[in-house]
Amino acid sequence: METIKTSKLNQVIALFIGSIFFITSAYAQKPKLIIGIVVDQMRVDYLYRYQSKFGEGGFKRLMNNGFFNKNANYNYVLTYTAPGHASIYTGSTPRFHGIISNDWYDKRNGKNVYCTQDDNVQTVGSNSEAGKMSPRNMMTNTIGDELRLATNLKSKVIGISQKDRSSILPAGHIANAAYWFDGDNGIFISSTFYMKQLPAWVTSFNEKKLADKYLSQDWTTLLPLASYTESIADDNPYEGLFKGETKPVFPHKLAELKEKNKGYNIIRSTPFGNSLTKDFALEALKNEDLGKDDITDFLTVSFSSTDYVGHKYGINAVETEDTYLRLDKDLEELLNYVEKNIGKENVLIFLTADHGGAHNAAYLESLRMPAGYVQPKVIADSVKNYMKKIYGDTLVLSYTNQQFFLDHKALTNKKLNLREVTEKIALYTQQLDGVANAYTVFDIRNASGSNDIALSRIYMGYNDKRSGDVAVNYLPAYLDFHKTGTTHGATYTYDTHIPLLWYGWKIKVGESYESVNITDIAPTVASFLDIAFPNGCVGKPILNLTK
């Protein structure tokens, strides 16, 4: 009897050891760490334009030693920061994940809401209101959420960015942490959605006051100014100014300009905001022991200064070129650390962008190219006057994110037909300067598979709970912006065509011109990890990336 019990015990032990070996082997076949890098407002052509000035260890390391999807695009509009980051990591579009813009008109409450706004949580790390944020407005989960679920919450998932939305939305709903920059205090913070207090390493990092160090210097060009031949003249009328400057030229004296430009927030519009983000990411890698065991971890890093610089100076500015040359060095430092301490063969890295950016319309006009500006208030007022003339009521509650939100109570009280009213608005709006076309909610709902590219992208960006009744599409190169710098958000390739680079774990060297969508990233990563796709995923795995 004793021998039988011992035999059964040995079998149980053997099964237990075997299961541990199987689980360990399964994990060992996967990357120890995934790093998702998003460069805010990065057009794909920057890789070619600045290539001769890049070093070998940053962008060119990824291009020459990884896989380059050269025809990667966004398949929806609006191409803004929040929906871009949400779409990359959910494998979905605003139609399903609900992040239709950075902010939107709330039809139930009659006011605008911010994408990560959450009044039920508090700031962790400072006394500001900047931490009252969470991912609760996102309706689907992320690849990081699926990784955490698949490993019974053993994987670490952490999001980092200057922008709250660019760290929170990528990290997902059950991330270990998300951190972002508090411009009032010059430090990184979080929210009670994730933690009660900052980890000791974050507090120690903040105590170094690196933002002060970066802002104590002038922003001068990394290379001799005359060598920036990929950009237009440093002194030109198409670039914005810091308050206190009279010309948009180097050097930018940051220490002198700081107080007139919202204190620490000025760092966002310099390349040093990216450097600070890199510094913080390195500390997270070290102190969170990311990639140090056989259970895959996930770090999302978004570099936001490229967007702030782009908005202020435009895509042809010396400032923009200098920002990318300095980011190239920041990437090199990050990649060097990862390869030395974790190993290239153990880390899967992808780099992409949340949207592109347009040429400054005034600059294009100076070259006699078709371009111009639209004024949303003029469009809204014109439509309201038109509606009042026909129906005795403006019927418009809001014109937000290029969409008209109508007063449905007024429509009901006046016994008006929604289809008829929206068709009148669409037909009228299409005649206005700068407008290419306008689509009713009925056009959009029936647009699945449409050959009209603009309509199909509006369809994928349309959420029934949050979007409006008529969507307006502007003409190419017509901007809803001031006449210096640039913006983004359009259906056109200058905003939808972005870089997509893969590097590291089992990634072969190569390139492809095959069309892929931004929504294909998350299912590709999920396939590598043998885990479920995010629950709102509409993308498909990208083929032929691995050896």
**DSSP class of residue 231?**
S
Residue pair 477/353 in contact by the 8 Å Cβ criterion: no
Give the architecture (CATH level 2) of 31-357+491-529: 3-Layer(aba) Sandwich (3.40)
pLDDT at 35: 99
* Domain locations along the chain: 31-357+491-529, 375-432+435-474
Identify the pLDDT of residue 19. Answer: 40
Looking at residue 448, what is its pLDDT? 85
- Angle, CA 332 vertex, CA 69 and CA 208 arms, to 5°: 130
Per-residue pLDDT of the chain (547 residues; tens, 9 = 90+): 444 444 544 554 444 444 443 334 344 489 999 999 999 999 999 999 999 999 999 999 999 999 999 999 999 999 999 999 999 999 999 999 999 999 999 999 999 999 999 999 999 999 999 999 999 999 999 999 999 999 999 999 999 999 999 999 999 999 999 999 999 999 999 999 999 999 999 999 999 999 999 999 999 999 999 999 999 999 999 999 999 999 999 999 999 999 999 999 999 999 999 999 999 999 999 999 999 999 999 999 999 999 999 999 999 999 999 999 999 999 999 999 999 999 999 999 999 999 999 999 999 999 999 999 999 999 999 999 999 999 999 999 999 999 999 999 999 999 999 999 999 999 999 999 999 999 999 999 999 888 999 999 999 999 999 999 999 999 999 999 999 999 999 999 999 999 999 999 999 999 999 999 999 999 999 999 999 999 999 999 999 998 7
Q: What element of type H or E holds 215?
A: helix 210-215
Is 296 annotated as catalytic?
no
- With contact defined as beta carbons under 8 Å apart, do 486 and 359 qualify? yes
Buried (b) or exposed (e) across 478-492, using 16+ Cβ within 10 A? bbbbeebbbbbbbbb
Find the largest Cα–Cα distance for the chain.
97
Which pLDDT score, from 0 to 100, does residue 26 have? 40
In CATH terms, 375-432+435-474 corresponds, of 3.30.1360.150, 2.130.10.30, 3.30.1310.10, 3.30.200.20, to: 3.30.1360.150
pLDDT score for 450:
87
Cα distances (Å, whole numbers) of residue 295 to 174, 194, 195, 255: 17, 21, 22, 45
Q: What is the pLDDT of residue 20?
A: 41
**Residue 431: both structure tokens together:** 């005649």
Bridge partners, 302 (sequence order): 38, 161
Catalytic one among 79, 81, 221, 491? 81
Of 209, 150, 199, 205, residue with least CA distance to 174: 150
| Fold agreement (31-357+491-529, 375-432+435-474) | no
On the CB side of 459, CA atoms within 13 Å amount to 15
Instruction: Give the C-alpha distances (Å, rounded to integers) separating 226 from 222, 247, 470.
Output: 11, 18, 49
pLDDT attached to residue 394: 97
Q: 247: buried, middle or exposed (CB in 10 Å: 19+, 13-18, 0-12)?
A: exposed
CB proximity list for 377: less than 8 A, separation 6 or greater: none
Cα gap 469→419, rounded to integer Å = 9
